[in-house]
Amino acid sequence: MKTKLVFLITALIFFSLLAGVILLAIPVAQAQDKASDSANIDQETVKESVKQRLENSLDEKLQKVQNVLADTDPNTLFAYVGQVTNFDQKTTLTIKRADKQKTINFDTNTTLLLTDKAGRSKEIKADKINTDYYLLAMGKADQNGMMQAQRIVFYEESPLSTVERRVVFGKISEIDNKKIVLKNHSDLSLTLDKKTKLVISGVKEPDATNLAVGDKAVVVLQKSENTEILKAIFVWPGSSNPEATDNQINASASAQPATESGKTKK
């Protein structure tokens, strides 16, 4: 009798434990199912997030491409600075700008100037161009996105061994006597002095009184300690400038806001 009672107690304990294990297993299994469902949901969320990021990235890249295309509009004025590496002896130049090659086209309407070591400039013919010249070219993009130059200033020797300079292209937004503000990514305040080389398209012997708000300009700045000195300014008169001709008005009216076209040392 005692043996049977022990057996029954042992069996009861065993089945009680077994039932407990089974009951415990149910919520664990449910939790695992929920965890699996949660994992699936998380994976879907991650996929959707990645997809959204890719779409946003593509939209941004597309916008950049559209901006580049806008910047190469045939009526947009811009500038190049670099060293001549090739000349076809006709109307096409190749220059080295930073680590890239750029092509510049010109024709009989392009003004070609040569600046000597003393800083004096004179007009030259295309057959006087040497492949070791440095240049500052200003113009518009042609149908192939290459520059069609309106003015090219050549330099006889490399200016890289002297002082640091940078070239900025922008629109004149303010004028106060000999002080101007060039609209760039930010406003750039500049002062013309007697040493500043001023060239205004279509104007002989120009001075600060020939400038007007809305003119497009390429400026050459020389770094001096903590400041920058305005060394030269090349100007296309805008539509509000009485010095402007019809061609200059058409060329400048559609020019884009300022961009820093490059840095060089001069």
Amino acid at 5: L
Contact 218, 166 (CB under 8 A): no
Q: How far apart are CA 259 and CA 104, in angstroms?
A: 19
Q: Could you tell me if 107 and 120 are in contact, meaning their C-beta atoms sit under 8 angstroms apart?
A: no
Q: What percent of the chain has pLDDT over 70?
A: 59
Query: 73-77, 118-122, 262-266: which has the highest mean pLDDT?
Result: 118-122
CA distance 170 to 78: 9
Instruction: State the average pLDDT for the chain.
Output: 72
- Per-residue confidence band for 2, with pLDDT thresholds at 50, 70 and 90: very low
Q: Which residue has the higher pLDDT, 80 or 36?
A: 80
Q: CA 189 to CA 228: how far, in whole Å?
A: 10
Average pLDDT over residues 149-158: 86
pLDDT tens sequence across 115-136:
877 777 889 999 999 888 988 8
When pLDDT is cut at 50, 70 and 90, the band that residue 66 belongs to is very low
Domains in the chain with CATH codes: 77-155 (2.40.50.140), 165-236 (2.40.50.320)
Is the per-residue pLDDT at 112 higher than 90? yes
Classified as helix, coil or strand, 243 is: coil
Instruction: Give the number of other CB atoms < 10 A from CB of residue 98.
Output: 11
State pTM to two decimals: 0.46
| Local structure of residue 93 (DSSP, 8 states) | E
3-class SS at 169? strand
Give, as one character, the DSSP assignment of residue 26: H
